[in-house]
Amino acid sequence: MDLHKLSLNQQLNGLKEGDFTSTELTSHYLDRISKLDKELNSFITVTEDQALLQAGAADKRYKEKSNLALDGLPIAHKDIFCTKGVLTTCGSKMLSNFEAPYSSTVYEKLDNEGMVMLGKTNMDEFAMGSSNETSYFGPVKNPWDTEYVPGGSSGGSASCVSAELAPVATATDTGGSIRQPASLCGLTGIKPTYGRVSRYGMIAFASSLDQGGVVARSAEDAALILEAMSGHDSKDSTSLKLDKPDLTKGLDDSIKGMKIGLPKEFFAQDMPAYIEKSIEEAIEVYKSLGAEVVEVSLSNINLSLPIYYIIAPAECSANLSRYDGVRYGYRCENPKDIEDLYMRTREEGFGKEVKRRILIGTYALSAGYYDAYYLKAQKCRQLVANDFSEAFKSVDVILSPTTPGTSFKSGEKADDPIEMYLQDIFTIPANLAGLPGLSVPCGEYEGLPLGMQLVGNSLEEAKLLQFAHSYQSNTDWHKKMPNI
C-alpha cells in the first residue's frame, strides 16, 4: 500500500481501524527519507530512533484504546522549533552544535496529540531567504525539478512534504516563508493570524512578523494540524488570549454569496501571462461556486517591501545578538579577548545573508536614522494594515498570486538580493498587517507548480481554509505530486 498517498484523515482512520500501525507508517516515511532525501537535502536531522519510540507508544495507546487526537501521525518540524535533546540549528553554523534544552510550544502541542517527529527540516539560515540556499547545511532541492529551488525559508518543510517524505510539516512565515515555498512546491501552506500560534521556542527572526504555521498537501490536512498548533500560550506575551479555533468543522460549507476581493495594485503589476491565466481560471472556479468577485484597493501596498526590509532586519539585529559564543552554539577558536570572541564568532558563525540583514537593521536603528527609517516604517506599516481593514469591510478574502513566478534555478538569484526579496512582494503585506494568509496550488507552468494566495481578515483562518477547501473540492491542482 502506498501509505504516503493517503491524506492525513485517511492515515488517521487507518491507524484507528488497525489497517496499519504507526510504526509501519513511520517506518514507511523513514524509508522514503533515507532513499530520497540524499538528493533533496530537505532534512537537517532525521530523528529515526525517537520517531520509532513515539510510534511504538502511539501503537500501544491504540491497542489500549487511549489514543490521542492525532496519535501516531508522522510530521516533520522546521529546524527553527526547539526540540528538547535534539539538534536545533535554525539552518546556521552558529547553532550547528546546539541541542535545545527545552521544547517549543508548537512541538509540545503536537507531541501532546501523539504526533511522531520524523526529523528537523532544512531552512534558510535563521529563516532569512526565499530559496533555501542560505542554509549552512546546504541548499534544498525542489522535488518537481531538482535544478530548481523549493523556495524559502521553509524550503525543507515544503520539499519533504512535496516529495512525500513526510505527510505534513510545520513551518514559519515572516514575510512569506510558508506561502512562497508552498507555491513553488505545489502545496497548501497557511500562516495564521499573528498571535494564533505560540512563538515560544520558535527561534526568533523578526518578532513582530514571525508566525508558525503548516505546509500540507491539502487545506483539509492543513486545517487539522493548524488547529492542534493554535491556542493561547502564557509563555508568549504576544499570543492571543483565545482558545484554539475549530478549523475543520466548516470546511465543506458553501462559499456561495461570499466576496473575493482582487487588489487592483497587485494586478496592475507586470505579471507573466501564465500567472494571469491561472488566476483567471481560479476566479472562474470561485464564480461558478457562487462567490462574487470585486476589485479592492490596497493603496499603500507598494510600500510593503521597503517597510519589511526596515522592520525585519531591525528586529533581527537585536534578536541575533544573543549568538555571541559565550553560552552555547558556535565559538571561534582561541579568542584573544572578549571583543575578538564576539567578532570572530559572529564573523565565522553567520552566513552572508544573515550578516547583511544584521547590518541593515543595525543601521536603521542607529542614532540619527531611527526616526527616518524604523519609526517611519512602523507608521507606514499601520497604513498597510488600515488598507486591509478597509478592504475587509466589503470582502471576505483577498486573492492574488502567491509569487511573481514559478520556481527559479538554484543560483539564479543567489547573488541578487533585490531580485530575491521581490519573491515576497505578494506575501509580505499579510505579515505587516498580522493577517492570516494561505497559498494553494492553482496551476502549472513548464512542469513547475504555481500558487494563489488568499488573505483573510484577522482570526478568519477558518474562512480561508473553507475557501481553499471548496476550491480543492472542485479542482485537482493540489493532487498533482512531483515524479520522484
Partner 1 sequence: MKNYSEDWEAVIGLEIHVQLSTKSKLFSGASTDFGALPNTQACNIDLAMPGVLPVLNEEVLRMAIKLGKALNAQINSPTSFARKNYFYPDSPKGYQISQMDKPIVENGYLDIETKEGNKRIGVTRAHLEEDAGKSLHDDFEGQSGIDLNRAGTPLLEIVSEPEINTPEEAVAYLKSIHSIIRYLGISDGNMAEGSMRCDANVSVRKIGDENLGTRTETKNVNSFRFVEKAIQYEIERQIHELESGNKITQETRLYDSQANSTRPMRSKEFANDYRYFPEPDLLPINLENEFIEEVMASMPEMPNQKKERFVSEFNLSEYDASLLAADKDLADFFEEVAKVSNSPKLSANWIMGELSAELNKENLSINESKISSNKLGQLILRIEDGTISGKIAKEIFEKLWSSDNEVDEIIQSEGLEQVTDDKEIESIIDGVIKNNPEQLEQYRSGKDRLFGFFVGQVMKASQGKANPKQVNDILRKKLEK
Give the footprint of partner 1 on this chain (CB under 8 A).
Answer: 81-82, 88, 90, 95, 98, 100-102, 104, 199-204, 206-208, 234-238, 314-315, 317-318, 320-324, 326-328, 338, 342, 362, 365-367, 370, 374
Instruction: Cell 529563516: give the residue.
Output: 127
Specify whether 78 is catalytic: yes
Nearer to partner 1 (CB atom), residue 17 or residue 337 = 337
Looking at 177, 278, 304, 400, which residue is catalytic?
Answer: 177
Residue 52 CA to residue 386 CA, distance in Å, equals 49
How far is it, in rounded angstroms, from Cα 174 to Cα 373?
19
Q: How many residues does the chain have?
A: 484
Q: Which is nearer to partner 1, 219 or 364 (CB)?
A: 364
List the alpha helices (DSSP H) in 198-337.
219-229, 264-267, 273-288, 304-319
Would you call 474 exposed, middle or buried from its count of C-beta atoms within 10 A (0-12, 13-18, 19+)? exposed
- 15 HSE (CA, 13 A, CB side): 35
Q: How far apart are the first and last CA of the chain?
A: 17
Q: Specify the residue, 81 or 426, whose C-beta has the smaller distance to partner 1.
A: 81
Cβ neighbors of 414 (< 8 A, separation 6 or more) are 131, 133, 420
254 catalytic, yes or no?
no
Q: How far is CA 198 from CA 32, 204, 227, in A?
A: 31, 12, 12
- β 188-191/211-216 pair status: antiparallel
C-alpha to C-alpha distance for 235 and 241, rounded to whole angstroms: 12
Residue 321 Cβ vs partner 1, minimum distance, rounded to whole Å:
2
Find the shortest distance in angstroms from Cβ 324 to partner 1.
6
355 part of the active site? no
Q: Are 463 and 170 in contact (CB under 8 A)?
A: no
Q: Crossing angle, helix 376-391 and helix 304-319, to 10 degrees?
A: 130
Closer residue to partner 1, CB minimum distance, 226 or 311: 311
How far from the centroid of its chain's Cα atoms is residue 302's Cα?
23
Cell of 437: 494568509
Q: Do the strands 211-216 and 448-456 form a parallel or antiparallel pair, or are they unpaired?
A: unpaired
Q: 321 or 394: whose CB is closer to partner 1? A: 321
Residue type, 238: T
Catalytic member of 92, 153, 208, 439: 153
Look at strands 397-401 and 259-263 and give their pairing: parallel
CB 383 to partner 1: min, Å: 18
Nearer to partner 1, 104 or 457 (CB): 104
Collapsed DSSP state (helix, strand, coil) of residue 294 = strand
| Minimum separation from the CB atom of position 285 to partner 1 (A) | 39
CB of 173 vs partner 1, minimal distance in Å = 16
3-state secondary structure 367-381: CCCCHHHHHHHHHHH
- Cβ of residue 448: shortest distance to partner 1, in angstroms? 34
Rounded least distance, CB 174 to partner 1, Å: 12
Q: In the bound complex, what is the minimum distance in angstroms from residue 131's beta carbon to partner 1?
A: 23
Residues annotated catalytic, as ranges: 78, 153, 177
